[in-house]
Amino acid sequence: MKKTMTLNLTDAEMQVLQDLCDKKDLSKTAVLRQALRLYQLVDVRLDQGGKLFFEDEAKKEKAELMVL
Amino acid sequence: MKLEITREWFVRRAKQEGDLEISAGRLARDPTPDETDIEAAVADIADPIRMAFGSLVETMRRRRGLTVEKLAERLDLNVGDIMRIERDAHFRPEPRAVYRLAETFDLPHKALQQLSGNTVARPGLQEQALRFAARSGESPQKLSRDEQRALEEFVAYLQKQQG
Amino acid sequence: MTSHPVFLTDKRTGEPVAAELIETISEADLRSVETEWKPVTVARIRSLMAKGLSPADWPEGWHWKWRDKVTAINGLLAFQTFALRCEGKLQGLMQLNTARARCRVAEQAGKDLVYVDYIETAPWNRKAIVDVPRFSGVGTIMIRAAIEVSRDHELRGRIGLHSLPSAEAFYANACGMTDLGLDGTYEGLRYFEMTSAQADAFSG
């Protein structure tokens, strides 16, 4: 049961979307659906009090990624 | 998602699977088992047997026409503990309390310690315990004929095990 | 809830029988785990305990709590669960994760895959628990489903998982997956990955 919607993106956003599609060999729909899954997951975890980090294994450094 | 599985495909592939194990995923085994984790998990497993223990104590008490207070008095235990023994499957009574219960109700000691979760149960006990727990009732009045019979059969089984 | 007609092998006759793959684990399934699966596993463990065997020798995955797993992912799009039923009883469960990992196999490194968080068959289907398994083929059906989910997400059938030690033969040989060795970051479990080509071969 799929629904269709129209999306308004800026040129820059459109370019990023296209780049991701090329890099990951995915359609625009697939990229955006994956983005939605990740966004929800991050959002829920943040609500639960978690923090989102990127860890640099080599430098043993952690940089917090703030998601508003 | 479209999933079209033909009988032919399945027969061909399933033959390769045969009787092989297929479990995948983490926390499936503890490389260094944490004592408390194992205890908690085993306690979880012991539930059906522990439930039978509670039912047995309650049934024996009612058969003697005793209130919880009276039994607590007789065993020199507190009322809360008796109630927890009878109703709370997660509450593990002290071996001392179980000993007193065995004495008072004239039940085989070893079997009762197994039922209480203090010692490892012999095979076969779980099935009998489940059967007994299922037949035990909830009413505070005297035991029905069925409950009486269920109790007698279970106690006979426990006594036989003692030997 | 979407369901798909599939098969399992009835070990009594050796013949395939009709089964149902349902695209979400329901409360009824969780109840089945508690009332149908657990007693069988528990009985086996108690007999092993009576023989003096320690938890290290108990059937792998014996303490998994599917209710906890399902509760943790409730409502999250990134996860997908499946239940397999046959003869009115629950035969298998699987949890998939589409947001977890990227491929490690060289030829597809950096590309996304569908990761199998957990997969389990009913205790009466396992030789580790009963002397005579009842049904076989749960693994085959579940892996096929995982591949299909991967294709549905345009990931071309790529999947990955960490196998329990006793199940390594199934993933290496029956599924033909690539063995990437023991994973120190994941309880030392062996990590397997299926390439697109392997997925095509498996489902062909």
The per-residue pLDDT for B46 is 52
CATH topology of domain C3-203: Aminopeptidase (3.40.630)
Q: What is the enclosing helix (H) or strand (E) of A24? A: helix A11-24
Q: Within 10 A of C87 (CB to CB), how many other CB atoms are there?
A: 12
* Tens of pLDDT, residues C153-181: 999 999 999 999 999 999 999 999 999 99
Query: Given this model, what pLDDT does residue C121 score?
Result: 97
Q: Which of C76, C153, C154 has its CB closest to that of A40?
A: C76
Number of Cβ atoms within 10 Å of the Cβ of B67: 13
Question: Which tens digit of pLDDT belongs to each residue from C25-45?
Answer: 998 999 899 888 988 998 888
ipTM value of the model? 0.92
Write the pLDDT tens digit of every residue in C99-147: 877 888 877 777 899 999 999 999 999 999 999 999 999 999 999 999 9
Name residue B15's amino acid: K
User: Do the chains contact at A34 and C77, CB–CB below 8 Å?
Assistant: no
The answer to whether the CB atoms of A41 and C78 lie below 8 A apart is yes
Residue C154: which of A26, A36, A37 has the nearest Cβ? Answer: A26
Domains with residue ranges and CATH for chain B: 37-162 (1.10.260.40)
Other beta carbons less than 10 A from residue C142's beta carbon: 25
**In chain A, what are the domain boundaries?**
11-64
Mutation pick from C7, C60, C94 vs chain B, by most beta carbons of B within 10 Å, is C7
Q: What pLDDT is stored for residue B120 in this prediction?
A: 80
d(CA C45, CA C60): 11
Q: Are B158 and B125 in contact (CB under 8 A)?
A: no
